[in-house]
């Protein structure tokens, strides 16, 4: 399924390595995603853990493990590679986060995303 492209962040507002969450839409089921800067690249994922579907973060924009080497789900400790989204530790080993198409133009980060988590199917 192809979703509209939206500007979700300014590149300068995301540390490297680092991440920034975004929401699209209103109501009970806004779409939740996050953008990752890692190793000179920008990636985007749905903010839904491959284990039980919880958002990975509790604190705003806090997605990285303390060592800043992996993305960490705060619910049950699953760890994901920041570029591929593959789980390399924890309860959903081998599963992966859902990646979103993203690109950077004029220092702006654009992501293809729906307006509701329900649109993911
Ligand atoms: S929901 Fe992420 S580890 Fe369980």
pLDDT in tens, 86-119: 999 999 999 999 999 999 999 999 999 999 998 8
Instruction: Provide the mean pLDDT of the chain.
Output: 96
Cα of 77 from ligand 1 centre, angstroms? 6
Q: Give yes or no for residue 28 having a pLDDT over 90.
A: no
Round to whole Å and give the CA distance between 102 and 59: 23
Q: Output the ligand 1 site: residues, CB below 6 A.
A: 49, 51-52, 54, 73, 75-78, 90-91
Q: Do 114 and 3 touch, CB atoms closer than 8 A?
A: yes
Supply 88's token pair.
């390399």
79: containing domain = 5-120
Dihedral (CA of 61, 70, 35, 106) sign: positive
Per residue in 69-80, pLDDT tens?
Answer: 999 999 999 999
Cα of 114 from ligand 1 centre, angstroms? 23
CATH number at residue 24: 2.102.10.10
**Number of compact structural domains in the chain:** 1
Which residue, by CA, sits nearest to atom 3 of ligand 1? Answer: 76
Which residue, by CA, sits nearest to atom 4 of ligand 1? Answer: 76
Residue 27, pLDDT score: 85
């Amino acid at each position: 399924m192809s979703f509209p492209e939206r500007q979700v962040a300014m590149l300068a507002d995301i540390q490297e390595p680092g991440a920034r969450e975004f929401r699209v839409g209103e109501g009970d089921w806004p779409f939740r995603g996050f953008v990752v800067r890692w190793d000179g690249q920008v990636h985007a994922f749905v903010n839904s853990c491959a284990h039980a579907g919880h958002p990975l973060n509790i604190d705003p924009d806090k997605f990285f493990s303390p060592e800043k080497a992996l993305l960490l789900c705060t619910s049950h400790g699953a760890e994901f590679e920041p570029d591929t989204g593959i789980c390399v530790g924890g309860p959903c080993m081998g599963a992966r986060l859902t990646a979103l198409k993203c690109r950077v133009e004029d220092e702006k980060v654009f992501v293809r995303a729906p307006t509701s988590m329900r649109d993911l199917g």
